[in-house]
Amino acid sequence: LRFKNILVVIKQTAFEEYSQLKLRGQAPKALRWKRLEQRYKAHKQCVNDLLSVLRKHEVSFTCVNRVELDRQHLANIDLMVAVGGDGTVLSAAHLLDHGTIPLLGVNSDPNVSLEDRKVTKKVVDERRSHGALCMCTALNLEELLPQIIHGEKQDHLSKRTRIRCKVKSTFSETRLVPALNDLLIANPSPAAVSRFRLGWLSKLPADTQQHTGTMTRFAGIPYDVSHSLNVWSSGMWVSTSTGSSAAMAAAGGQPMPLESTDLQYLIREHMMENSNEKLDSDVNNGFIESKQKMHLRWNSQRGRIFIDGSHLTHNLELGDEIMIDNEAPPLPMFLNRGPRSRSSI
């Protein structure tokens, strides 16, 4: 066996969440309970099939609900398996911040089943998962999982670049969990303007005394801030190559090769007419290459950083400074090597 101690992270389905609300009389009235129950049963069947495969091959494993996942569950494991969809994979990845434990995603309820392919006019169930971050699905689990745990799919294991983000406030400095897909930096209200100053950092000598430009420090290291630009906008996306086919693509970003280690940024709805600086539209979308560090000074009263979706956030205040680069530990992941679609995640 290549992997002998596996942690299985299992998502909590919408059916389970809404059932708890129903008991308290808080469930929305318009829920389609039969559809939710079908998705729940498909997910549970996939979980049971996965555990049967692990037992058959005598693999030691532990199961944990996605919402209960904690660092204590990482002790002595050599593979994490996230069963659900892309959201479950992203949540699991956030705890693997050291990049030493591989991650395998299993799509428990794929949006195209064998039956669906036979019915061309079938109404699509939007609650099913696309699973672009999942190498296995409920349809091929029994074939692929034994090959993976016996080390026969190592060519599908690659290290994925992640975003490192540090936030410096008046009295503290915080390093956020690495983002596998993307960051959204914006005002908490989608109707409000996000004001910030965007620039680039270059390291200065430690004994810098006579620096005449704009200077800042992160972790005590002095940096020069150059090529700054005042931005009034709806916020900014920053994505990895893994996430470039997700929200970044939907916002008008550029497709990226999966093996790229660069980060891509895109300013949303940039109100350039409010700027006194001479600008062109190319400033809205570009790349943060290796060794480059992007710097933001937040100039709105409130702000928020959304990390790989809406569940994990960090609040910003006026004057906070943000440093973004690609130096987070890369995450080893099992991924398919087929062609990528712009809407694949």
Res 342: pLDDT: 41
Q: Tell me the average pLDDT across 300-313.
A: 97
Give pTM, 2 decimals.
0.90
With a cut of 80, say whether residue 112 has pLDDT above it: no
Res 131: pLDDT: 86
Res 129: pLDDT: 67
Q: Tell me the average pLDDT across 308-317.
A: 96
Q: Tell me the average pLDDT across 259-266.
A: 97
CA distance 17 to 26: 11
Give Cα 87 distance to the centre of its chain.
8
Q: Tell me the average pLDDT across 224-243.
A: 96
Q: Tell me the average pLDDT across 132-149.
A: 96
180 near 331, Cβ under 8 Å? Answer: yes
More confident residue, 337 or 62: 62
Res 199: pLDDT: 96
With a cut of 60, say whether residue 127 has pLDDT above it: no
Q: How far is CA 112 from CA 88, 255, 343, in A?
A: 19, 24, 15
